[in-house]
Amino acid sequence: MIYTKLGHYSHPEHKLKLIHSHTPYKCDGCMDIGFGLRYRCNPCNFDLHKDCMFATSSANHAFYKDSVFKFHDSPPGERDRFCDACGGDVKGFVYHCKAHNRDLHPCCRNLPCRIEGDGVVLNLKEKVTSKCYWCGKRELWEGVTGWSYVSTCKTYHFHVSCVKDILVKRWEKEYFNGDGNCSSVSGGALEIDRNPDLELVPYQGGGGGRFAKYLKMVKFVVKLIVSTLLGDPTAIVASIIEAII
């Protein structure tokens, strides 16, 4: 059961109401961007991801069976920290394993391990050998691969961080007209061009129908991942997803 109005210790002044986000927002818990569902105090302009709202005092993860993660309101220690899942900076709420120096954003810790749709199966992977379709790289930066969604056929691979980037960049392009004013959805499609240096897919078929079919499937995979991460079936989010692909 999802309660629509709840209190949270990080914002004792008012209760937070569960709403569907019509715009990107910054979570005041983990300080990361959010889409879809959020808990919000409108008078105070205060927002929390659902996963930050219901963070637990400790947690674990299947990728790190030797770790016990403790919840912190802010990054522990003095040095800068990054999330082992998405590679993003840790600026607020975080699950931290002191023994193995690991960190996970609450939302990243709760990413689904398996996504299925229309015969496509994507598994969340900690370690990958192929390159991400979107950025054309295996590593986010030297020595850090981050987590990825990889299809069981090994053809489709997207970094979790790249899926976030797709959402943000498409929103900026479609919803903002360059002077900070929100514009309407144009309905334009995101052109997903294959990086010429990308070796992820040993595509040998040249152009034409086979390549068009390949691109169609790539776009479907992106849509499947995005819709799962958003977890929001409302019409506005559906329109965002359609714009992305």
Tell me, what CATH number does 88's domain have?
3.30.60
234 and 166 part of one domain: yes
Query: What is the pTM (predicted TM-score) of this model?
Result: 0.78
pLDDT, tens only, 133-145 = 888 999 998 888 9
17 and 81 part of one domain: no
Mean pLDDT of the chain: 79
Backbone angles phi, psi at 154, to 5 degrees: 70, 10
d(CA 71, CA 97): 9
132 and 13 part of one domain: no
The separation between CA 233 and the C-alpha centre of its own chain, rounded to angstroms, equals 16
Strand ranges for 80-119 from DSSP E: 94-97, 102-104, 114-117
pLDDT at 60: 96
Which domain range does residue 237 map to? 112-245
170 and 126 part of one domain: yes
Contact 89, 69 (CB under 8 A): no
In the DSSP assignment, the letter for residue 54 is: T
Q: When comparing pLDDT for 90 and 183, which is higher?
A: 90
154 and 245 part of one domain: yes
Contact 39, 5 (CB under 8 A): no
100 and 199 part of one domain: no
Count the domains in the chain. 3
132 and 77 part of one domain: no
- For the chain, the farthest-separated pair of C-alpha atoms sits apart, in whole angstroms, at 61
188 and 139 part of one domain: yes
185 and 160 part of one domain: yes
Mean per-residue pLDDT for 24-34?
92
d(CA 143, CA 151): 23
71 and 183 part of one domain: no
Residue 187: pLDDT band (50, 70, 90) is very low
pLDDT at 203: 36
Residue 209: pLDDT band (50, 70, 90) is low
d(CA 98, CA 93): 15
